[in-house]
């Protein structure tokens, strides 16, 4: 008998009240509200992307200007002068390498 009393205290799933099913109109209203909310989010994201696009276009224009300026400067460089500067740099490098070889040999002789 105590088993029967315990069973009465526990509600069976069938005895629990069933949740009300929403009607088609309620479903449509809920879904339309959700769509509107999502549309607003999309519009916000679109606005953010348009701002980013504008920033990128501005940066791109600046890069093109800088590139054009560098192209002009490159045209102004005298190839003969550039060749002479390269030869000077090469001779300085060779001279430095000779000094390093000499010092390495000198250090080796001291040991």
Whether 49 contacts 41, CB under 8 Å: no
pTM for this prediction: 0.43
Q: What is the dihedral of CA 37, 38, 41, 42, to 10 degrees?
A: -140
Q: What is the pLDDT of residues 6-57, one digit of tens each?
A: 555 555 555 555 567 778 999 999 999 999 999 999 999 999 999 999 999 9
- Please give the Cα distance from 33 to 25 (Å, whole number): 12
- Please give the Cα distance from 23 to 21 (Å, whole number): 6
CA-wise closest residue to 93 among 57, 23, 30, 101: 101
Sign of the dihedral through C-alpha 105, 107, 108, 109 = positive
Q: What is the pLDDT of residues 46-85, one digit of tens each?
A: 999 999 999 999 999 999 999 999 888 888 878 888 888 8
Domain boundaries along the sequence of the chain: 23-76, 78-111
């Amino acid at each position: 008998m105590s088993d029967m009393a315990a069973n009465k205290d526990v509600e069976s799933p069938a005895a629990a009240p069933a949740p009300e099913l929403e009607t088609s109109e309620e479903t449509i209203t809920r879904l339309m509200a959700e769509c509107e909310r999502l549309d607003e989010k999309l519009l916000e994201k679109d606005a953010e992307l348009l701002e980013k696009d504008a920033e990128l276009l501005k940066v791109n224009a600046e890069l093109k200007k800088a590139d054009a300026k560098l192209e002009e400067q490159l045209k102004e460089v005298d190839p003969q002068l550039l060749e002479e500067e390269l030869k000077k740099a090469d001779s300085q490098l060779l001279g430095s390498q000779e000094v390093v070889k000499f010092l390495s040999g000198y250090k080796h002789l001291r040991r």
